[in-house]
């Protein structure tokens, strides 16, 4: 996981440097219309499913995206869903996402957005002393509102639903479980 964080930091740094070198050629209105952006979200996670992993946790997310225009963007992220569970069953999940983001400016400094895409995740779990790892994928969808502090710096509030099927092997009553991650978060975004 430490390598994943270092890789994400390197990608964001390279994207930032590249965007900064071209920033002199762009006006502030161009930054609002298209280009690279980076951001981070922190919030509350509710884990819901037909298993013993139900719990609440903190969630942290780093993201990078590219706006094609003021309505459409492509976004990728690294997300850490944290530790969740109870004394019988506990787990830790992190992963990567790829999404299409659709934005709708509703005022000079306010825009609504919705996004949806693919989640690739890895879960380390421990159920009654039996440990394992499950790599999986699922879909997700989210919506939020962003407030422009400046043309380049935004704060946002977002709700996102992730569908994850955690496959608990090597446990007597194990099997695939339908688990939902429900994330409510606040975040920041910087557009280059």
pLDDT in tens, 119-133: 999 988 887 777 888
Strand-pair partners of 158: 144, 185
User: Which residues, in sequence order, are CB contacts of 56 under 8 Å at separation 6+?
Assistant: 44, 45, 46, 47, 84
- By the 8 A CB rule, do 113 and 105 touch? no
pLDDT in tens, 10-40: 545 444 444 444 444 444 455 557 899 999 9
In this structure, CATH architecture of domain 2-191: Beta Barrel (2.40)
pLDDT in tens, 102-156: 999 999 999 999 999 999 999 888 877 778 888 889 999 999 999 999 989 999 9
- By the 8 A CB rule, do 93 and 69 touch? no
Look up the pTM and report it.
Answer: 0.76
Give the C-alpha separation, 10 to 129, whole Å: 37
């Amino acid at each position: 996981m430490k390598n994943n964080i270092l890789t994400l930091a390197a990608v964001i740094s390279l994207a930032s440097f590249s965007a900064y070198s071209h920033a002199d050629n762009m006006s502030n209105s161009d930054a609002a219309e298209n280009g690279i952006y980076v951001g981070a979200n922190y919030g509350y996670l509710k884990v819901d499913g037909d298993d013993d992993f139900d719990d609440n946790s903190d969630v942290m997310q780093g993201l990078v995206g590219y706006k094609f225009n003021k309505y459409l963007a492509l976004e990728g992220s690294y997300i850490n869903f944290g530790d969740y569970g109870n004394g019988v069953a506990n787990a830790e999940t992190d992963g990567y996402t790829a999404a299409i983001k659709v934005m709708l400016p509703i005022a000079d400094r306010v825009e609504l957005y919705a996004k949806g895409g693919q989640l690739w995740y890895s879960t380390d779990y421990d159920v009654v002393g039996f440990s394992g790892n499950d790599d999986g994928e699922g879909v997700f969808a989210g919506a939020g509102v962003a407030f422009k502090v400046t043309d380049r710096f935004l704060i946002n509030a977002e709700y996102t639903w992730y569908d994850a099927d955690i496959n608990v092997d090597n446990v007597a009553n194990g099997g695939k479980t339908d688990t939902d991650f429900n994330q409510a978060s606040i975040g920041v975004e910087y557009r280059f």
